[in-house]
Chains A and B, each alone.
Chain A
Amino acid sequence: MSRLTEAEAVETAASRKYKYGFTTKMEYEEFPRGLNEDIIREISRRKNEPEWMLEFRIKAFHHWLTMEEPDWPNVNYQKPNYDDIIYYSSPKEKPKKESLDEVDPEILATYEKLGIPLHEQKMLQNVAVDAVFDSVSVATTFKKKLAEAGVIFCSISEAIQEHPELVKKYIGSVIPTNDNFFAALNSAVFSDGSFCFVPKGVKCPMELSTYFRINNPDSGQFERTLIIAEEGAEVSYLEGCTAPMFDTNQLHAAVVELVALEDADIKYSTVQNWYPGDENGVGGIFNFVTKRGICKGDRAKISWTQVETGSAVTWKYPSVILKGDNSVGEFYSVALTNDYQQADTGTKMIHLGKNTRSTIISKGISAGKSQNSYRGLVKIGKKADGSRNYSVCDSMLIGSECGAHTFPFIESSNNTSSIEHEATTSKIGEDQIFYLQQRGLDEEQAISLIINGFCKEVFKELPLEFAVEATKLLSIKLEGSVG
């Protein structure tokens, strides 16, 4: 009988390769290490930013200086040395491109390797892609088609130049510069990211997508995303992330702000596969991200779906402020950790308007020696009459050396509202795998089927191609982890 022992299983897991771990040979235009006002002024100057943008950055930097890196997450890591990070890095070729033909072929080849062909003819149908390589947005496809519909989709740098009034009005309106340590840092030094504006009554004609790639070992990535859906507008936005393998840790501190006006609908999906470090926990991305949306108008809806599989340490709570009456917030999450990965992730649903509704479906899968925590807050304000929340937090454990934790917080100041919370913990059992193997499925198929069943409620929220990708990703990540 060939049965994997624990040791063999660990060995198999160790030999598993992080498929995106290659680096692209690029020459970089880099800044000196460390952060001070001069660096910020230089970033802003290089990007030819208006004065108000520089002021925003400087203000954020001064907040940041007074703040401390948070200690409350259930994770342990050596805090980054912020004086040793390069805060701006861009491929040496001039990044502003009119068409894809002008983009450095090395970068295009990188995205091809990642399975994201930027060439329109090969692209997933109806997905417009903005690609951010280290700090700079290198290409936005389908721009023309979107413009015809009145949708603006471009890099945030470009938006600052071309649509300053929109950026000025909304940037920092959901996540203030002093919100938290990492958001303040991002606000001071953000390099690029995506901007999307869907005007009143427009249903965005295609899925929008951004791919983030960190290539440079010493640079942090601080991208900034801002999405605005005006009255009755609809947009679905996808975000994918990968990075090469380095034995040092890279910091990724992004900020994503979503604004949904009356009757608007924003759906934001993430498949995060940053490099998680090796099997001994060396290297990997620190993923410290602030994501928040506001349902500003009545009947607005914001839905977050995330599949978190990468990063050495994850600290991330995509949240929704339900300000408009009858507005809806949703959070669907699969967080998988293996080896020495640590994740502290969840959501905040802040109910302010009347009859607001929120749904939280969180699925945590822990394998190896990893630690996986769900942390959530459901807050019902005084005026939020008739509001409802429904939360489900399920954890699945694989092996006996990992941990799953849940920290659900509930604060209700309104007695006409209702909050429901369900939680389960299960273990992938030998019996479950044997049962499926007895039905002719090999071990890998068996695990993949069980995991898919466990994550089904979340996967069905993803656009089809991404659901397929997420399924594959989870199987690859778990290969060999069940002994």
Chain B
Amino acid sequence: MLKIIDLHARVEGEEIEILKGINLEINKGEVHAIMGPNGSGKSTLAKVIAGHPAYEVTSGQVLFEGEDILEMDPDERARLGLFLAFQYPVEVPGVSNSMLIREAVNAVRKERGQEEFDPLEFEDFIIDKLKLVEMDEKFLDRSVNAGFSGGEKKRNEILQLAAMEPRLSLLDETDSGLDIDALRIVSEGINKLRSSENSFMLVTHYQRILNYIKPDKVHVLINGRIAKSGGSELALELEDQGYDWLVGDAHVNGEA
């Protein structure tokens, strides 16, 4: 599904690299958790994969279904089935949620050679998806994320994920800022969307969400590199011991 080879990236126009040689492979049907302390490059990794224009890839490859996507615009990547659930979902005043999601779904459907939904067909389609994140229909008429609470914004991201049916979903700290009920709703939504055909990459600080969503693999990102990879038990270990023991390792191994 996703293969990252020796990926280096920095903020456009700056010298210092944030990603210093990432290697990662996520197979079809797998859920990987990316953990690590603040500033380790976790969110950057998610944004670089999605094609955020603020970052510049200096070397390496990102293969999605075998195809190098680094030269593609973010929207091309999205239409291929790559979804990023934002850490800070952006407000778009005056644009209704249903309008955005319909355009998004139709963009993907067009790419896949499927017929686009008219507004009525779309309504039937989206109402099913709303149940997944326990959202009320009136969310559809509100402006995209404008005046939404933190929890509502995150649920809205999962709603969009459910509607666009991506092959690979990157969840950038979807759990941060959620109360326990919202965390449960979001996690259960994701679990229902999991299948043998799609994959997830969860970026998170905390082990908490992993109580709900059991990852196949856990990677610890420290100072722009994967310092350690393991099974779901690694997350528990981190919860006990923190990241310090790995930070030491990373410094010892670090060449830069």
A-facing residues in B175-216 (Cβ within 8 Å): none
A contact residues around B41 at 8 Å (CB) = none
User: Chain A interface: which size bin?
Assistant: 20 to 34
Q: Beta-carbon contacts of B8-51 to A below 8 Å, as 1s and 0s?
A: 00001000000000000000000000000000000000000011
Compute how far the CA of A256 lies from the CA of B53 in the bound complex, rounded to whole angstroms: 47
CB-contacts of A423-476 with B (<8 A): 429-432, 434-443, 445-446, 449-450, 452-457
Whether the Cβ atoms of A440 and B94 lie closer than 8 Å is no
Q: Knowing A430-B54, A452-B94, A453-B92 touch, does A441 contact B103 (C-beta < 8 A)?
A: yes
In the complex, which residue of chain B has the Cβ closest to the Cβ of A363? B94
**Chain B residue contacts of A125, Cβ below 8 A:** none
Give the chain B neighbours of A457 by CB distance below 8 A: 94
> Distance in Å from the Cβ of A336 to the closest Cβ of chain B?
15
Q: Judging by beta carbons under 8 Å apart, are B56 and A450 in contact?
A: no
Q: Is the CB of B103 within 8 A of A1?
A: no
A449 proximity list for chain B (CB < 8 A): 92, 95, 99-100, 103
A467 to chain B, nearest CB (A): 13
Q: How far is the CA of A431 from the CA of B104 in the complex (A)?
A: 17
Interface string of B101-112 (1 = CB under 8 A from A): 101100110010
**Residue B89 at the A interface, CB < 8 A?**
yes
- Give every chain A residue within 8 A of B56 (Cβ-Cβ): 1
Q: Is the CB of B160 within 8 A of A439?
A: yes
**Known contacts A440-B104, A441-B107, A442-B73; is-contact A453 B93 (Cβ 8 Å):** yes
Contact indicator B164/A452 (Cβ below 8 Å): no
How many pairs of A and B residues are in contact by the CB < 8 Å rule? 91
Q: Would A434 and B53 count as touching, CB distance under 8 A?
A: yes
Q: Which of B37-84 contact A (CB under 8 A)?
A: 50-57, 70-75, 78-79, 83-84
Decide yes or no whether B117 CB sits under 8 A from chain A.
no
In the complex, what residue of chain A is closest to B160 when comparing beta carbons? Answer: A439
Nearest Cβ in chain B — how far from A205, in angstroms?
30
CA A432 to CA B143, docked complex, whole Å: 14
Q: Are B95 and A450 within 8 A (Cβ)?
A: yes
CB-CB contacts below 8 Å: A400-444 with B: 429-432, 434-443
A2 neighbours in B (Cβ, 8 Å): 71-73
Q: Give B55's nearest chain A residue, CB to CB.
A: A1
User: When chains A and B are docked, how far (Å) is the Cα of A438 from the Cα of B83?
Assistant: 7
The distance from the CB of B91 to the nearest CB of chain A, in whole angstroms, is: 8
7 A-B pairs, CB-CB below 8 angstroms? A2-B72, A430-B53, A434-B51, A438-B50, A438-B83, A439-B78, A449-B100
Of all A-B residue pairs in the complex, the 8 with the closest CB atoms, nearest first, are A453-B94, A440-B107, A453-B95, A439-B104, A435-B90, A437-B74, A456-B94, A437-B75
Chain B residues packing against A (C-beta within 8 Å): 12, 50-57, 70-75, 78-79, 83-84, 86, 89-90, 92-95, 99-101, 103-104, 107-108, 111, 143-144, 160, 164
